[in-house]
A and B are shown apart, each in its own frame.
Chain A
Amino acid sequence: MPDARVCALAAVLSGFSALPASSEPEITTTYNTYGYPGLIDMPSAHSRPDAELALNVSHFRNTTRTTLTFQITPRLSGSFRYSNLYDIRGPSPGAPVRDFIYDRSFSLHYRFLDETRRRPAVAVGLNDFFGTGIYQSEYLVASKTVRPSIRVTGGIGWGRLGSAGSFRNPLSYVLGGRMDTRPGRLGDEGGKLEAQNWFRGPAALFGGVEWQASDRLKLTAEYSSDAYPQEDGIAFERRIPVNIGATYRLRPGKHLSFNYLYGSELGVNLSIALNPKDPPNGGTRDKAPPPIVVRTLDAAQLGWAPEDVKGDDLSERATRALAAVDLELHSLQITGDTARVVFRGTSRTRSGQDIGRTARALTGILPPRIETFEIVPMVNGLTPTQVTLSRSDLEALEYEFDNSWSSYARARIDSLERAEPPLADSYPMFRPSFGPYLQPALFDPDEPVRLDFGVEARATLEPARGLILRGAVRKRLVGNLDGSTRPSDSVLPHVRSDFAIYDREGDPAITELTGAQYFQPGRDLYGRVTLGYLEPMFGGLSAELLWKPLNSRFGFGVELNYVRQRDFDQLFGFQDYRVATGHAIGYWQFNNGYHLRVDAGRYLAGDWGTTIALDREFKNGWKVGAFATFTNVSASEFGEGSFDKGIVVTIPIDWISGEPTRDDFTTVLRPVQRDGGARLEVAGRLYETVRGLRGRDLQNNWGRFWR
């Protein structure tokens, strides 16, 4: 690392010349009624800030669109949209009018050229590329900021965006007459990548102007190329192709727009955005750590006299010192000038801070002759990693400017070959907890959002090192999850699609009751065997082996399960369905915070296939990802959606509250839950258990070592 001070100074000097000279308000890019970057109904070329996650709700007569958009990279954003459409025609000419449909669609918006002084920003986009096709369209759009407060946008659209004022597809002149027609949809289930339609059929031009009238108010006018072929004349009257709108910034990240659409309708659009990189409270308010106690010649100053160096007394003090920083001492051993401490209680993102605090606590209690600290974090009985620190370094670096980097550079980080031997007196350990829970069920056609609220009692008992018994019971207090009465029409074994019956009959429900043994068969190798009621719908035996080298971006695992389907009441009984399911799993950490997981194997319905899961991971614990599973179940056997896919969001609780906790909240958004490509859920899988203590994650967490 070059001297950080030089770099920082260069930033200061270059910063001065970059300050804006005028006081004219600068144009901001906002979301359109489809929830992706755009004008009013039309796209524009710019993007929102990297990593922003936005919820956008727009409504005008007979149309409501709710969109979740994530700025996946600085150039690429992806959207998932749920639309409620009333009084709408079917897609083919002459199709009957339907009172109501709901529609789910995905969009991608990719800005491939940045704006420069001479050139506009240019983006390409795909809408509804594997939904049921109502919003299917493609576009190429350019936007140029002609003055700081004025931006002009123009583009060409195909599909729905080429439905008004259309002309012959210009691509036909290049690629031939086959581009003149859109072949139409492949199947009825949706969910197919309808690539055969892309950029085909008639095209049309659209465009508009945005004017930032003040820091908070933006006025927009646009010319729309969307004929609303399925809505016009029924859902509403499309009189003119022009829309105007006013967008007001309520607070940073919150925008409210009022639009006058197609000469006939008033519409409203609300977007609420957050950015995982910017915690609302500026990060967690952890209490100050204990100071490094510097050794002096006068040992009495430590509150310690030489005859105190009895193992038991020292362990007791260490237990208290670690408890003060919310950690648990497992064992403390002193050999020569080395102290070896094993502690529990850290998490994937807090390992750096917890190791730092353990080291600080040790400086306050260990005799001066101890020079080396071997710190071993323990998770579920596993001790993957040992961090060796020099006490003199800690003393010297505590207030050094570059102490974060220096302490990491001087720490020795090793992979441990076997689990730390247990100390008799630290077992059994019992950890009960009791609290509320919230369980949503989304996208039911009868009721798009259902929610249960109740109480959950949980307990973890560790009678011996690595043997972990877990149980959880839930009792619903209020909610409407039991209101879903749609029977599953799945032709596959009903491994997931009977979820509504489970929701209805499981009250109270034992959501988990398992015993697991964790073990370390060799260097970089971790194992787990779990037996019991693994999840609400399945119980049985689950075994897993993971290879995760210390400093590699790669991990590899194998999981084999034999499970039987549980009774709907989620108590102790089972149904008849049994299945052997399992996967080989590869994990890959990219340099820039993206994470890939590929599973190949047999799924719960007995189908064989592959899951690809790509996550963007933030170093504070946020994850936003998407997954898709392709198995040997055909689209028609699978049913609506054609294959299993969805979005996963993990939010660390301390990011929201600012209070130091190690918990997080994960939610999976599936457009539709079917039985193909369904994976077993098991608590305490190995990869997430150990990765916070392996090279890359540990390095990412080291910024908090001195906190």
Chain B
Amino acid sequence: MLTREGLNASDGPLLLAELGDLETAATLAPSSRNGTVRTWASGDLVSLSFRQGVLVASRGLGHDLMSADVGGTLAMLEGQSAGYYERFHTYLSGEYQTVHRAFQCQRSGTWAERIVIFDRPQDTTRVEESCVSPGLTLTNIYWRGPDGFWWKTRQWVSPGAGYLTTERLIR
């Protein structure tokens, strides 16, 4: 059972990840860094990779996000673009062939919000991103601290895995 006391006692960054559809949750520790992409891994070998807070790959879920081009999302989060932009994901089909999925996205809302992560309140800016693809509409949410740190996100992974919620337990 995770508690704030327990978290205070542990050292090193820690990420809590939850997949609502698959009804699983795990804590992940940093496993590697490649350029601006940081990868986190759980004890049972599920890994999640983020480019500046935005999910670009998952492994070990079964329904994995194989790769993603999130340049538009990053520009939107930096406030560099307004209006529509594209987002691209790749997955593996049932025959393990690469399939592409494209999304049309836009920032659909942003406001200040105080969130609580294990008893610790955090002032954040909440940014929502809405994306559409044939037969699919999704909303990703990013909560950023005043210093630009991504405290919490809710991001869509794949049709099989659904949404992933991450919270930074220890910076």
Q: Which residues of A contact B (CB under 8 A)?
A: 4-5, 7-9, 11-12, 15-16, 18-19, 275-279, 281-289, 291-294, 349, 395, 398-405, 618-620, 658, 700-701, 703-704, 706-707
The answer to whether B41 touches A401 (Cβ under 8 A) is: no
The answer to whether B100 touches A404 (Cβ under 8 A) is: no
Query: Measured between C-beta atoms, what is the minimum distance from A651 to chain B in Å?
Result: 13
Chain A residues within an 8 Å CB radius of B98: 404-405, 703
Answer yes or no: B125 CB below 8 A from chain A CBs: no
Chain A residues within an 8 Å CB radius of B101: 8
Assess A707 versus B37: contact at CB under 8 Å? Given A12-B104, A287-B45, A399-B57.
no
Which residue of the partner chain, among A7, A288, A700, contacts B47 with CB atoms under 8 Å?
A288
Which residue of the partner chain, among B41, B44, B69, contacts A5 with CB atoms under 8 Å?
B69
Answer yes or no: B93 CB below 8 A from chain A CBs: yes
Q: Of the 9-residue stretches B1-9, B58-66, B111-119, which lies at the interface with chain A?
A: B58-66
Chain A residues within an 8 Å CB radius of B156: none
* Nearest B-chain residue to A5, judged by Cβ: B88
Q: Interface 1/0s, chain B 35-49, versus A by CB < 8 A? A: 101010100111101
Assess A294 versus B96: contact at CB under 8 Å? Given A288-B60, A399-B67.
no
Which residue of the partner chain, among A4, A275, A281, A399, contacts B100 with CB atoms under 8 Å?
A4
Chain A residues within an 8 Å CB radius of B67: 399-404, 706
Which residue of the partner chain, among A287, A399, A405, contacts B37 with CB atoms under 8 Å?
A399
Task: Give me 7 A-to-B residue pairs in the complex whose CB atoms sit less than 8 angstroms apart, sorted by A's number.
Answer: A12-B103, A282-B63, A283-B96, A287-B59, A291-B31, A291-B32, A399-B57
Query: Measured between C-beta atoms, what is the minimum distance from B105 to chain A in Å?
Result: 11
The answer to whether B102 touches A8 (Cβ under 8 A) is: yes
User: Which B49-88 residues have a C-beta within 8 angstroms of A?
Assistant: 49, 51, 56-57, 59-64, 66-69, 86, 88
Which residue of the partner chain, among A16, A286, A701, contacts B60 with CB atoms under 8 Å?
A286
Residue of B37, B132, B134 with most partner-chain A CB within 10 A: B134
* Nearest A-chain residue to B134, judged by Cβ: A15
Assess A18 versus B37: contact at CB under 8 Å? Given A289-B59, A291-B47, A399-B49.
no
Chain A residues within an 8 Å CB radius of B68: 401
Which residue of the partner chain, among A16, A286, A401, A619, contacts B69 with CB atoms under 8 Å?
A401
A480–B34 alpha-carbon span in the complex (Å): 60
Chain B residues within an 8 Å CB radius of A276: 94
- 7 closest Cβ pairs, A-B complex: A15-B134, A8-B102, A291-B32, A288-B59, A287-B45, A288-B47, A288-B60
The answer to whether A281 touches B34 (Cβ under 8 A) is: no
* Nearest B-chain residue to A400, judged by Cβ: B67
Which residue of the partner chain, among B88, B96, B160, contacts A701 with CB atoms under 8 Å?
B96
* Nearest B-chain residue to A700, judged by Cβ: B97
Chain A residues within an 8 Å CB radius of B45: 287-288
Assess A401 versus B93: contact at CB under 8 Å? Given A12-B133, A707-B59.
no
Which residue of the partner chain, among A398, A658, A703, contacts B92 with CB atoms under 8 Å?
A703
The answer to whether A620 touches B57 (Cβ under 8 A) is: no
A398–B39 alpha-carbon span in the complex (Å): 11
Query: Measured between C-beta atoms, what is the minimum distance from A707 to chain B in Å?
Result: 7
A276–B103 alpha-carbon span in the complex (Å): 28
Query: Measured between C-beta atoms, what is the minimum distance from A39 to chain B in Å?
Result: 30
Answer yes or no: B147 CB below 8 A from chain A CBs: no
* Nearest A-chain residue to B159, judged by Cβ: A282
Answer yes or no: B90 CB below 8 A from chain A CBs: yes
Chain A residues within an 8 Å CB radius of B39: 291
Query: Measured between C-beta atoms, what is the minimum distance from B37 to chain A in Å?
Result: 5
Chain B residues within an 8 Å CB radius of A5: 69, 86, 88, 100, 102
Which residue of the partner chain, among A287, A293, A703, contacts B96 with CB atoms under 8 Å?
A703
Chain A residues within an 8 Å CB radius of B104: 12
A404–B97 alpha-carbon span in the complex (Å): 10
Query: Measured between C-beta atoms, what is the minimum distance from B65 to chain A in Å?
Result: 11
Residue of B49, B63, B95 with most partner-chain A CB within 10 A: B95
Chain A residues within an 8 Å CB radius of B92: 283, 703-704, 707
A404–B66 alpha-carbon span in the complex (Å): 9
Which residue of the partner chain, among A12, A294, A395, A619, contacts B97 with CB atoms under 8 Å?
A619
* Nearest B-chain residue to A395, judged by Cβ: B34
Which residue of the partner chain, among B49, B57, B86, contacts A9 with CB atoms under 8 Å?
B86
Assess A12 versus B60: contact at CB under 8 Å? Given A288-B46, A401-B69, A620-B96.
no
Chain B residues within an 8 Å CB radius of A398: 34, 37
Which residue of the partner chain, among B46, B63, B88, contacts A401 with CB atoms under 8 Å?
B88
Query: Measured between C-beta atoms, what is the minimum distance from B155 to chain A in Å?
Result: 15
The answer to whether A619 touches B66 (Cβ under 8 A) is: no
The answer to whether B160 touches A282 (Cβ under 8 A) is: yes
The answer to whether B134 touches A18 (Cβ under 8 A) is: yes
A292–B37 alpha-carbon span in the complex (Å): 12
Which residue of the partner chain, among B31, B90, B100, B103, contacts A7 with CB atoms under 8 Å?
B100
Assess A283 versus B62: contact at CB under 8 Å? Given A9-B86, A399-B37, A619-B97.
yes
A402–B90 alpha-carbon span in the complex (Å): 8
The answer to whether B32 touches A293 (Cβ under 8 A) is: yes
